């Protein structure tokens, strides 16, 4: 594996490999004028591996995962996601110990995932499997193994731990909006954040990071270009590059948000205590509002508002591509997969519409008599 970094006016490359005893070795070179020169040097070493000059076999699976994580993932993912990678590394150490990656079979991996799936939800099982699969593919690129032992396995999960995301219907959303508007007070910004989530479908961290510069009152748009880290109380990057987007919003929402300008802070949702409402505070306020609106959904929380926003748009016939862009997804496939349960529930409504359209084919509306059509 090779890692590159800029050193002064040149580039440095650090290449690692494993000897016959499974010990990790390193070689380092600097002074390359361009990154391409450094990559060419690393490629020569990779070719040496293939020829057997440098041994690349007998690598401990768990140790390779840790190295892969540090080189390729650690600096590109959120801290909470990094914790998941570390948990996976610990699981691999516990399950496979010092077993070499080229000694693990598809059966071994299937048994591991079976055991994990028995006590975890579907989404967790799928996420863990996708991360490990990415690592194994990297091992193939590094010529450590010839075949992908994670391919074509069957995933199982605990349905009791797989919670269906609840969402509000149109009537419930209207009731929640009405109650929330009556509770608005510019000193307490939680309700403003809840309304923003309802009207935009933005993520909680994206809403918390909004500044007045992100809101264009003339064009009626909100620009999402960063998110808020509650642990460090500072800006951080959005979830991914596609999350950066411009959302069209209503004048009604902007008029409500303008009330917060009197708080005198560049951050839109800073309250009278000089802080942005925490996830706990937001969920507590949301539950209070729902109770007052007689909406009983025990599993409903702030992020569920995003699902309600999607449900509303789909129900009203908004194109899935437009919904995907509004949510900040990288492609429409991700949206379709994540909200498949909503699409399935709306299918009956669509089927009825299709049946109505097809039933009227070939009929004249004035005489209601069948006419032959070409």
Q: What is the pLDDT of residues 184-208, one digit of tens each?
A: 999 999 999 999 999 999 999 999 9
For the chain, give the mean pLDDT: 85
326, 224 Cβ separation under 8 angstroms: no
Mean pLDDT of 242-248: 94
By percentage, how much of the chain surpasses pLDDT 90? 55
68: helix, strand or coil: helix
Query: What secondary structure does DSSP assign to 309-337, as a single string?
Result: HHHHHHHTT--HHHHHHHHT-SSHHHHHH
Confidence label for 47 from pLDDT (cuts 50, 70 and 90)? low
Is 364's pLDDT higher than 60?
Answer: no
> Minimum mean pLDDT among 136-145, 255-264, 284-293, 350-359: which range?
350-359
Q: Is the dihedral of CA 348, 350, 355, 356 positive or negative?
A: positive
Rounded Cα distance, 8 and 33, in Å: 10
Q: What is the pLDDT of residue 372?
A: 43
Confidence label for 76 from pLDDT (cuts 50, 70 and 90)? confident
Confidence label for 358 from pLDDT (cuts 50, 70 and 90)? low
Confidence label for 22 from pLDDT (cuts 50, 70 and 90)? low
Q: Are strands 2-7 and 10-18 parallel, antiparallel or unpaired?
A: antiparallel
């Amino acid at each position: 594996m090779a890692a590159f970094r800029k050193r002064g006016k040149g580039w440095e490359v650090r290449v690692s490999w494993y000897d016959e005893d499974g010990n990790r070795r390193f070689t380092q070179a600097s002074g390359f004028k361009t990154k391409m020169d450094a990559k060419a040097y690393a490629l020569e070493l990779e070719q040496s591996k293939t020829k057997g000059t440098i041994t690349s076999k007998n690598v401990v699976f768990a140790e390779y995962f840790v190295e892969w994580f540090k080189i390729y993932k650690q600096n590109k993912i959120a801290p909470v996601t990094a914790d998941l990678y570390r948990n996976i590394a610990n699981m691999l150490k516990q399950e496979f110990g010092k077993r070499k990656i080229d000694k693990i079979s598809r059966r071994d991996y299937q048994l591991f995932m079976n055991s994990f799936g028995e006590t975890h939800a579907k989404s967790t099982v799928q996420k863990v499997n996708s991360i490990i699969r990415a690592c194994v593919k990297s091992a193939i690129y590094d010529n450590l193994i010839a075949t992908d032992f994670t391919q074509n396995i069957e995933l199982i999960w605990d349905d009791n731990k797989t919670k269906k995301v609840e969402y509000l219907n149109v009537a419930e959303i209207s009731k929640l909006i009405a109650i929330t508007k009556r509770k608005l007070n510019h000193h307490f910004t939680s309700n403003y954040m809840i309304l923003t989530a309802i009207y935009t479908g933005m993520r909680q961290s994206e809403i918390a990071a909004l500044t007045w510069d992100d809101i264009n009152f003339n064009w009626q748009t909100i620009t999402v270009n960063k998110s808020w880290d509650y642990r460090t109380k500072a800006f951080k990057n959005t979830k991914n590059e596609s999350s950066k987007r411009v959302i069209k919003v209503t004048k009604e929402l902007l008029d409500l948000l303008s009330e917060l300008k009197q708080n005198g802070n560049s951050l839109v949702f800073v309250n009278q205590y000089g802080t942005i409402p925490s996830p706990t505070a937001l969920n507590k306020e949301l539950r209070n509002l729902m109770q007052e609106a007689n909406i009983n959904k025990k599993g409903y929380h702030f992020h569920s508002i995003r699902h309600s926003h999607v449900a509303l748009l789909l129900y009203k016939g908004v194109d899935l591509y437009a919904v995907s862009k509004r949510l900040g997804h990288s492609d429409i496939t991700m949206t379709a997969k994540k909200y498949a349960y909503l699409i399935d529930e709306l299918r009956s409504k669509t089927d009825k519409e299709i049946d109505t359209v097809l039933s009227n084919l070939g009929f004249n509306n004035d005489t209601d008599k069948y006419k032959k059509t070409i």
